[in-house]
A and B are shown apart, each in its own frame.
Chain A
Amino acid sequence: MNCLRFSWFGRLGKVLARQPLLTFLLLGGLLYVTEARWFIPLQAQTPIVIEAEKVERLRQQWTQKLGRAPEHNEMLAVLEGVALEEMLIAEAVARGVHRNDPVVLLRLRQNLEFLGMEVSPGALEHAYDLDMHRHDPVVRKRLRLLMESELLAGARPAPTPLDSEPPTPEPLHKFSFSQIFREQRIGPDELNRLQDARPESAAELSDPFLLAHRFHQVSEVQIARELGPDLARAVSSAPIGRWVGPIQSVYGDHLIWLEGRERVTPNLDIDRVRIERQIQAEKQNLELALADLRARYRWHVEPGEE
């Protein structure tokens, strides 16, 4: 078999060597087909035209929904969304997706049947002539999804590839501290007296307090959650091994004795990280691919400016 193929190619080569015109035509044809299939989408495309009637309909929908007409930049954002969808459809059509996808073909045949038209292999041209592939919502959605998948597959590499090292989570500090709590303001005399107190005595030296007198290895967020943001900030910046304060909270005055500050790295579930990365990368890549697409198409509102 291989010998046969080799011999066929060999004979073709000899024929082409003797016929330069045939060689030229063959290569030209190949280039034409290749460019039509793969490279046309990379060239500047026919501008997307959004009909004035559609613009007006969108404007009315907006007004009906929000009770006021859209402002210029708001309408622009709406139209950009519409234009992007049209770009995806146009790109899919340019790549011939509408002629190859079995779901699209099935749907177009169903439409022809519904219209009582003949359903034969050649009859699909009627559907294309009628622009069914551009107007039928099922086909449009199918083309849009396929195009997004295709763009995603051909997108630039993700900036956070799946197999790279997982990120190191931001380290955080965990604090262990005791507090003396007083409902009333702590005056200077009492403050002096309390400087000699041991942190183990914090509960006995405090006024009644529902929340804890000793916290073990809690983060600033957890302190804020219990005692308010001001106290959390004070703890996070307190020196170790002496009373700091009084610091005011909604509850009263607090003296803080910071026993230790430990820098910890939160645990990361590597499997989750990888999956999250995949989701994020896919989103990001799609946006990059869509940005490329936007750069290659122009759009304008009929009959206004782009």
Chain B
Amino acid sequence: MSLRKCLLFLAGVSVLSMLSACGGGESSSPSENQELVNGSTASKPWPSLACDPPAPNSQRNAYFGELHLHTEYSLDAVATRLKPEDAYRFALGEAVAAPPYDEAGNSLVPPHQIDRPLDFAAITDHGEWLGERQLCTDPTIDQVAYYSPECTLFREDKELGFLLFGGGAAAFSPDIFPKLESGSLDSLTETGKQRAPFCGALGEKCEAAARGPWMDTQLQAERFNQPGCFTTFNAYEYTLSPQSDNLHRNVIFRGTEVPTIPVSANEAPTPTDLWRELDEACTGDCEYLTIPHNSNLSNGRMFASPNDVDASDSYDVDERRKAEPLIEIFQVKGSSECSQSEGASEDDPLCDFEQLASTNFVQFFLGVNPLPVAPAYTNTVRYGLKQGLLLERQFGANPFQYGFVASTDSHFGLPGSVDEQNFPGHRDVPPVNGVKDDAYNNPGGLAVAWAEENTRDALFDAFKRKETYATSGPRLQLRVFGGNQSGLPENMCQGSGESFVRQGDAGGVPMGGELHVGQGRPRLAIWAAADAWPRENGRTKAVPLARMQVIKGWLELDESGNPVTKHKVYDVAGAEQSDWQVDTADCSVSGSGPAQLCGVWDDPDFEPSQSAFYYARVVEQPTCRWLTRQCLAAPENLDCDNPPEEWAGCCAVDTPPTVQERAWASPIWYKQ
């Protein structure tokens, strides 16, 4: 280890001590409390430090991780007391103290532990309010800020405080809260973005206060990064919500070189500004990528054409392509893959999966939406991929050539806590006993990268080349190669996995790649393996697969010669009758099904002149949804006319009792 790193660590110890001491009269952090409860502060001596990495695998391994996770440093993480250190410990398999807590910071529920450690994790606290939260919770930084009405309100009621001066005034548009933002007391940043008055005339106080948590985020990432065994990334969330429409992005950095403070929506009021500011702040060894998420809450903005939207929202297509190789297709606030609404994907019943009824944050938080609503299907990734084909024809490049990942977006500081059987909730203070989250949320998913080894460079390279896939939680393995009939043999599924990959690498491109005109009829070779871990019937039974499909989207000309996009879903394997059954009365499962599905698929509707994309989707057999499992503990004879608040979620009638967990592979594009 270099002297510089040593010094960085030692500085980290000091900063960590300072930060952990902050917070007014709060007691020690829950993880410390937990150690006290267990009476074994050093009984497990630093498991993360012992690393015996396996040799790199030229055929690449599937690494499962989290790229969207909030800790106590996020202003809207109103329930948790976990910091980045606790989050990384959880990712590595240690039990931590989950919400809710008593006033002294003791967790009121049993220690929470992931069922299997993650391979990588990034902590993405909101870049916008790092300083605001710090000023509002630490009286020693700036007393004027600490005693400001906003901070006082925040300490009294964190949710209300966040909505008024965090999510409301700082991120939402003035159109939503005109009175709050027009007050002469509000401060203006250099970009004209308004911040809470206590941030100072130019927001300088909040900018300065943000450095503490940002430094701790970096230090913990450095501390827990173990090349070959466990990878951490420096990261944060850029939280832009014009008119409450979600345009959030997670910013992931390749290495230790990062900007002094996160480039937030305060400094960069449009995504284009974000990339430009990052290009200026992230130089030398600094390299970044941005991952948009929750297009399902973007009210039609996420996949808008540069010409469709306000001038301030316009973007450079090449810049977007360069900065944004991936999109988060699934998380706690639902699936963004596709929608059956408005005739968008009526032919695809599997779109009816973890759908959110809201189209922007006003609707999500308040339940009503007075703003103009865009059709729900325009918020889906499938629509975005199709729009990308249209825009490529217009601009010569596809701004939405996205690979897929999923993550949780947990605001509890619990990365990869995706188990339907053990869902602790994700943001609001959960009841000790009762339903842990709103019925329409879910535990979220995982990001998976095919990489030679578990290191920052290998994983970041996989992100950049889009050799990634998303899962809704289970650790399915999904491998896809695209090519043509001469490159990919028809019998690829008859051999071993090693020969499958060898042939795929030699004669085709992996998921995320491109095929080009002149290469002939596209052929896809797809192989999926079930999650090897038993998750059902008291962790004794694994869940088999149900079916594997290819979703194709393409561009064609209508009778008038105008370009239009279409899509079609093809079954590739599985889908036959199965004896698999799930009993929602006790959530037990029975029966069997395939643990692997493999298929070599040729596009039967191929037209050489039509640009297209293809992505694979594999689904498991049904299992109980998290809400069904938690409601098994509800009081007998629950009166749904007047249910106790903590069990009211069990009376929700618009959520299905079961789910079919799944994985989505990054697309392969056929280009002109």
Q: Write the residues of chain A forming the contact surface with B, with a CB cutoff of 8 angstroms.
A: 58, 61-62, 65-68, 70, 74, 77-78, 80-82, 84-85, 137-138, 140-142, 144-145, 148, 159-160, 167, 169-170, 172, 174, 183, 203, 206, 208-213, 216-219, 222, 224-229, 249-252, 264-269, 271-273, 275-276, 278-280, 282-284, 287
Query: What separation, in Å, do the CA atoms of A174 and B52 have in the docked complex?
Result: 10
**Is there a chain A Cβ closer than 8 Å to B140's Cβ?**
yes
Q: Please pick, from A58, A208, A268, the residue contacting B103 in the complex, using a CB distance under 8 A.
A: A58
The interface centre, meaning the residue of B25, B41, B46, B106 with most chain A CB atoms within 10 A of its CB, is: B46
Contacting residues, chain B, for A283 (C-beta < 8 A): 32, 35, 41
CB pair B25 A85 closer than 8 Å: yes
CB pair B140 A269 closer than 8 Å: no
CB pair B52 A272 closer than 8 Å: no
Q: Please pick, from A66, A78, A148, the residue contacting B100 in the complex, using a CB distance under 8 A.
A: A66
Contacting residues, chain A, for B432 (C-beta < 8 A): 66, 68
CB pair B49 A269 closer than 8 Å: yes
**Is there a chain A Cβ closer than 8 Å to B5's Cβ?**
yes
Q: Which residue of A lies closest to B500 (CB)?
A: A210
Residue contacts A-B, CB under 8 angstroms, 17 given = A66-B100, A70-B102, A81-B103, A82-B25, A85-B25, A137-B24, A140-B25, A141-B25, A144-B21, A208-B494, A208-B495, A208-B596, A211-B529, A225-B532, A265-B52, A268-B50, A271-B6
Query: What separation, in Å, do the CA atoms of A62 and B106 have in the docked complex?
Result: 12
Query: What separation, in Å, do the CA atoms of A14 and B195 have in the docked complex?
Result: 74
Q: Which residue of A lies closest to B491 (CB)?
A: A208
CB pair A81 B27 closer than 8 Å: yes
Contacting residues, chain B, for A216 (C-beta < 8 A): 55
Query: Looking at the complex, which of B8-16, B310-318, B371-379 is the stretch in contact with chain A?
Result: B8-16
CB pair B645 A67 closer than 8 Å: yes
Q: Which residue of A lies closest to B224 (CB)?
A: A272
CB pair A74 B102 closer than 8 Å: yes
Contacting residues, chain A, for B46 (C-beta < 8 A): 272-273, 276, 280
CB pair A210 B530 closer than 8 Å: no
Contacting residues, chain B, for A170 (C-beta < 8 A): 50
Query: What separation, in Å, do the CA atoms of A251 and B54 have in the docked complex?
Result: 24
Query: What separation, in Å, do the CA atoms of A183 and B25 have in the docked complex?
Result: 60
CB pair A77 B6 closer than 8 Å: no
Contacting residues, chain A, for B649 (C-beta < 8 A): none
Query: What separation, in Å, do the CA atoms of A167 and B371 have in the docked complex?
Result: 61
What distance in Å separates the Cβ of B85 from its nearest Cβ neighbour in chain A?
9
What distance in Å separates the Cβ of B3 from its nearest Cβ neighbour in chain A?
10
What distance in Å separates the Cβ of B32 from its nearest Cβ neighbour in chain A?
6
Query: What separation, in Å, do the CA atoms of A247 and B432 have in the docked complex?
Result: 41
Main secondary structure of the interface of A (DSSP, over half): helix
Contacting residues, chain A, for B143 (C-beta < 8 A): 138
Contacting residues, chain B, for A224 (C-beta < 8 A): 532-533
Query: What separation, in Å, do the CA atoms of A68 and B433 have in the docked complex?
Result: 11
Q: Please pick, from A148, A172, A218, A275, the residue contacting B9 in the complex, using a CB distance under 8 A.
A: A275
The interface centre, meaning the residue of B25, B496, B598 with most chain A CB atoms within 10 A of its CB, is: B496
Q: Please pick, from B17, B140, B542, B544, the residue contacting A142 in the complex, using a CB distance under 8 A.
A: B140
Extra pairs beyond A66-B432, A85-B25 (19, CB < 8 Å)? A58-B103, A77-B104, A141-B24, A142-B140, A159-B42, A169-B49, A169-B50, A183-B596, A209-B496, A210-B497, A210-B500, A210-B527, A222-B54, A224-B533, A250-B531, A269-B49, A272-B49, A276-B223, A283-B41
CB pair B429 A211 closer than 8 Å: no
CB pair A210 B529 closer than 8 Å: yes
Contacting residues, chain B, for A284 (C-beta < 8 A): 41-42
CB pair B41 A268 closer than 8 Å: no
Query: What separation, in Å, do the CA atoms of A234 and B17 have in the docked complex?
Result: 45
CB pair B139 A137 closer than 8 Å: yes
CB pair A228 B542 closer than 8 Å: yes
What distance in Å separates the Cβ of A298 from its nearest Cβ neighbour in chain B?
19
CB pair A268 B49 closer than 8 Å: yes
What distance in Å separates the Cβ of B489 from its nearest Cβ neighbour in chain A?
13
CB pair B9 A271 closer than 8 Å: yes
Decide yes or no: A66 and B50 within 8 Å by CB, A209-B496, A252-B595, A282-B17 being known contacts.
Answer: no
**Is there a chain A Cβ closer than 8 Å to B477's Cβ?**
yes
Q: Please pick, from A81, A209, A280, the residue contacting B41 in the complex, using a CB distance under 8 A.
A: A280
**Is there a chain A Cβ closer than 8 Å to B506's Cβ?**
no
Decide yes or no: A250 and B532 within 8 Å by CB, A272-B49, A283-B32, A283-B41 being known contacts.
Answer: yes
The interface centre, meaning the residue of A266, A275, A282 with most chain B CB atoms within 10 A of its CB, is: A275
CB pair B533 A229 closer than 8 Å: yes
Contacting residues, chain B, for A211 (C-beta < 8 A): 477, 497, 529
Decide yes or no: A208 and B140 within 8 Å by CB, A249-B532, A266-B52, A280-B42 being known contacts.
Answer: no
Contacting residues, chain A, for B103 (C-beta < 8 A): 58, 61-62, 65, 78, 81
**Is there a chain A Cβ closer than 8 Å to B622's Cβ?**
no
Q: Please pick, from B16, B36, B116, B532, the residue contacting A227 in the complex, using a CB distance under 8 A.
A: B532
CB pair B6 A250 closer than 8 Å: no
CB pair A212 B139 closer than 8 Å: no
- Encode B393-428 as 1/0 by CB contact (under 8 A) with A: 000000000000000000000000000000000000
Query: What separation, in Å, do the CA atoms of A109 and B271 have in the docked complex?
Result: 48
Contacting residues, chain B, for A268 (C-beta < 8 A): 49-50
What distance in Å separates the Cβ of A212 from its nearest Cβ neighbour in chain B?
6
Contacting residues, chain A, for B139 (C-beta < 8 A): 137-138, 141
**Is there a chain A Cβ closer than 8 Å to B493's Cβ?**
yes
Q: Which residue of A lies closest to B138 (CB)?
A: A141
What distance in Å separates the Cβ of B524 from its nearest Cβ neighbour in chain A?
15
Q: Which residue of A lies closest to B23 (CB)?
A: A141
Query: What separation, in Å, do the CA atoms of A141 and B35 have in the docked complex?
Result: 24
CB pair B498 A251 closer than 8 Å: no
What distance in Å separates the Cβ of A72 from its nearest Cβ neighbour in chain B?
12
- Which 4 A/B pairs are nearest by Cβ-Cβ distance? A81-B104, A250-B542, A169-B50, A228-B532
Contacting residues, chain B, for A287 (C-beta < 8 A): 32, 36, 41
**Is there a chain A Cβ closer than 8 Å to B431's Cβ?**
yes
CB pair B13 A213 closer than 8 Å: no
Query: What separation, in Å, do the CA atoms of A228 and B4 have in the docked complex?
Result: 41
Query: What separation, in Å, do the CA atoms of A66 and B32 have in the docked complex?
Result: 22
Query: What separation, in Å, do the CA atoms of A159 and B43 have in the docked complex?
Result: 12
Query: What separation, in Å, do the CA atoms of A144 and B28 have in the docked complex?
Result: 12
CB pair B598 A138 closer than 8 Å: no
Query: What separation, in Å, do the CA atoms of A217 and B494 have in the docked complex?
Result: 27
Query: What separation, in Å, do the CA atoms of A138 and B22 have in the docked complex?
Result: 11
Contacting residues, chain A, for B1 (C-beta < 8 A): 269, 271-272
Q: Please pick, from B35, B100, B598, the residue contacting A210 in the complex, using a CB distance under 8 A.
A: B598
CB pair A206 B108 closer than 8 Å: no
CB pair A206 B50 closer than 8 Å: no
Query: What separation, in Å, do the CA atoms of A66 and B6 have in the docked complex?
Result: 43
**Is there a chain A Cβ closer than 8 Å to B45's Cβ?**
yes
CB pair B42 A138 closer than 8 Å: no
Q: Which residue of A lies closest to B105 (CB)?
A: A81
Contacting residues, chain A, for B36 (C-beta < 8 A): 287
Q: Which residue of A lies closest to B501 (CB)?
A: A210
Decide yes or no: A84 and B27 within 8 Å by CB, A208-B496, A278-B13 being known contacts.
Answer: yes
Query: What separation, in Å, do the CA atoms of A85 and B27 have in the docked complex?
Result: 8
Within 8 A of A (CB), among B58-75: none
CB pair B52 A273 closer than 8 Å: no
CB pair A225 B49 closer than 8 Å: no
The interface centre, meaning the residue of B32, B35, B429, B596 with most chain A CB atoms within 10 A of its CB, is: B596
Query: What separation, in Å, do the CA atoms of A209 and B477 have in the docked complex?
Result: 12
**Is there a chain A Cβ closer than 8 Å to B646's Cβ?**
yes
Query: What separation, in Å, do the CA atoms of A172 and B108 have in the docked complex?
Result: 36
CB pair A212 B498 closer than 8 Å: yes
Q: Which residue of A lies closest to B100 (CB)?
A: A66
Q: Please pick, from A144, A213, A222, the residue contacting B498 in the complex, using a CB distance under 8 A.
A: A213
- Encode B138-175 as 1/0 by CB contact (under 8 A) with A: 11100100100000000000000000000000000000
Q: Which residue of B lies closest to A204 (CB)?
A: B496
Query: What separation, in Å, do the CA atoms of A217 and B138 have in the docked complex?
Result: 50
Query: What separation, in Å, do the CA atoms of A81 and B106 have in the docked complex?
Result: 9
Contacting residues, chain A, for B495 (C-beta < 8 A): 203, 208
The interface centre, meaning the residue of B41, B532, B544 with most chain A CB atoms within 10 A of its CB, is: B532
Contacting residues, chain B, for A278 (C-beta < 8 A): 13
Contacting residues, chain A, for B531 (C-beta < 8 A): 250
